[in-house]
Chain A
Amino acid sequence: MKVKYFAWVRERVGKAEETIEPPATVRTVEELIAWLSGLGEAYAYAFEKPKVIRAAIDHAHVKPDAAIAGAREIAFFPPMTGG
């Protein structure tokens, strides 16, 4: 699946998007965040406060317990500050 990062999550991870293949045991958004955190220092830094991170699946906001099965694109970002 494709993963996108925005704002300071993007800066900390060091890339705007990538394709990942998490193991089948990773079923929800919060499990994916925990898995990503283990990919290296940059990821651990980006996701150090997982409760702050917001997520969207296929362009729609989702909660941490949302299932990732079938997702084409998952995005992680800080709370929004537009307007």
Chain B
Amino acid sequence: MATPVTIRIQPDDFDVAREIAALSHGRTDIGAVVSFSGICRGDEDETKIAALTLEHYPGMAEEEIGRHVDEALSRWPLNGVTVIHRVGRIEPGQNIVLVVTASQHRQAAFQAAEFLMDYLKTSAPFWKKEESAAGNGWVEAHARDDQAAARWTKS
């Protein structure tokens, strides 16, 4: 059976528990589920954030995430993957992104979830605009995110 993969880009919120259940319910081959939720922070470098607005490149965003999910499936023995990324205006405390990975054992699930998040940050075509007391501005990319993604590069 092909590994179940769900990739969604949506303005609406998601329910973490429901997404985990959808991936693992009724299955006896899964021994580990790891989920990562990215949440909008209320401040950045001591500046209060009113909201983030997420823009994406429709079509490419789904394809780029799909390419990295395929890469994860080829590297680790996974039994299921779900990636959901929200777009539009998101306020502090609200969900931005969800990665769920399922495997027989925890190590593959942990590593694949981290791999997918590192690549979502640096390679999936999404951009954050920040509304704050200092005005509105595009969030700058961090070198630390590039470094995090680079550690997965096969030598």
Which residues of A line the B interface, CB within 8 A?
A: 4, 6-8, 56, 59-61, 75, 77-83
Whether A80 and B63, one on each chain, are in contact in the complex, defined by CB atoms closer than 8 angstroms, is no
Nearest-neighbor residue (CB-CB) of A61 within chain B:
B123
B150: interface (CB < 8 Å): no
How many chain B residues touch the partner (CB < 8 A)? 28
Q: Collect the chain B residues with CB atoms within 8 Å of residue A77's CB.
A: 57, 125, 127
A78 to B59 CA separation, bound complex (whole angstroms): 17
Which residues of B line the A interface, CB within 8 A?
A: 38, 54-57, 59-60, 63-64, 85, 96-97, 117, 120-129, 138-141, 145
Whether B60 and A82, one on each chain, are in contact in the complex, defined by CB atoms closer than 8 angstroms, is no
Q: Closest CB of chain A to B57's CB: distance in Å?
A: 6
Contact of B123 among A4, A75, A78, A80 (CB under 8 A): A80
Q: What are 23 A-B contacts with C-beta separation under 8 Å?
A: A4-B57, A6-B55, A7-B127, A7-B129, A56-B60, A59-B64, A61-B123, A75-B125, A77-B127, A79-B122, A79-B141, A80-B121, A80-B125, A80-B126, A81-B126, A81-B128, A81-B140, A82-B124, A83-B96, A83-B97, A83-B120, A83-B124, A83-B126
